[in-house]
Amino acid sequence: MRERAPLVFFDVDSTLVTIEGIDVLAGGNPEIAALTDAAMNGIIAIEEVYGRRLEIIRPSRQAVRQLGETYVSSMVDDAEEVVGTLHERGATVYLITAGIEQAVIPLAKTLGIPPARVRAVRLEFSSDGQYVDFDRRSPLARAGGKEIAVQDIRARSHGRAVFIGDGITDAEARGAVDLFIGFGGVRQRDAVRALSDVYITEPHLSSILPHVFRT
């Protein structure tokens, strides 16, 4: 019997793109960069830094719109080709990220991923475009959130599931998938390597394909 086409879950920052969106919004603020790095390496829980970073930055709607454009221009070299290959071979691709939904949607559209297959954190803005808050109900803004998101999707879908990501919040989803691929092509993190079924250090994504499609 032929195996069902896989479900493929991608992180976004430092996985499909070469940037960390929150650091771009922060304009190089070293405090924000340090908090992001600590969270991605599992030193600080994501919920301890998520709201704190946004309160420091207070990104406007326009800044988030510009970040969406930067995501598209900062894709890992073969990201579009690899996602295209996944689609051609029948995989169902999702983006699961603690990034900002309004900035991630343009990237998803560029990659041919419907907005309905994006799981991210939505920001709230005032009528004049100023930052108000983030969706505090989102599980993605706290530890274990990506595992919850994957479990929810798998409860309504079938097929082997693979997650690809660079950070500890991605590795937290490994219990909900059949294969966790740590991606170190942008940033290598020893804590993630230790938790990965497969760890990739090449600066491109094509290396995931033999693992996604078992022969």
The per-residue pLDDT for range 119-145, each reduced to its tens digit, is: 999 999 999 999 999 999 999 999 999
Paired strand residues for 87: none
> What is the structure's pLDDT at 3?
56
Low-confidence ranges of the chain (pLDDT < 70): 1-4, 215
Task: From 200, 205, 178, select the one nearest 83 (Cα to Cα).
Answer: 205
Question: pLDDT value at position 110?
Answer: 98
The pLDDT, as a whole number, for residue 158 is 82
Q: What separation in angstroms does the CA of 113 have from each of 50, 95, 105, 106, 183? A: 26, 8, 9, 10, 20
- d(Cα 96, Cα 190) in Å, to the nearest integer? 22
Q: Which amino acid is at 20?
A: E
CATH 3.40.50.1000 corresponds to the domain 7-212? yes
User: Which of 57, 76, 59, 77 is closest to 11 using CA atoms?
Assistant: 76
Q: State the catalytic residues.
A: 11, 13
Q: Where are the domains of the chain?
A: 7-212
- Helix axes 101-110 and 61-73, enclosed angle (nearest 10): 30
Alpha helices of 42-165 — where are they, by DSSP H?
A: 46-57, 61-73, 79-88, 101-110, 145-154
Three-class secondary structure of residue 211 per DSSP: helix
Position 4 scores a pLDDT of 67
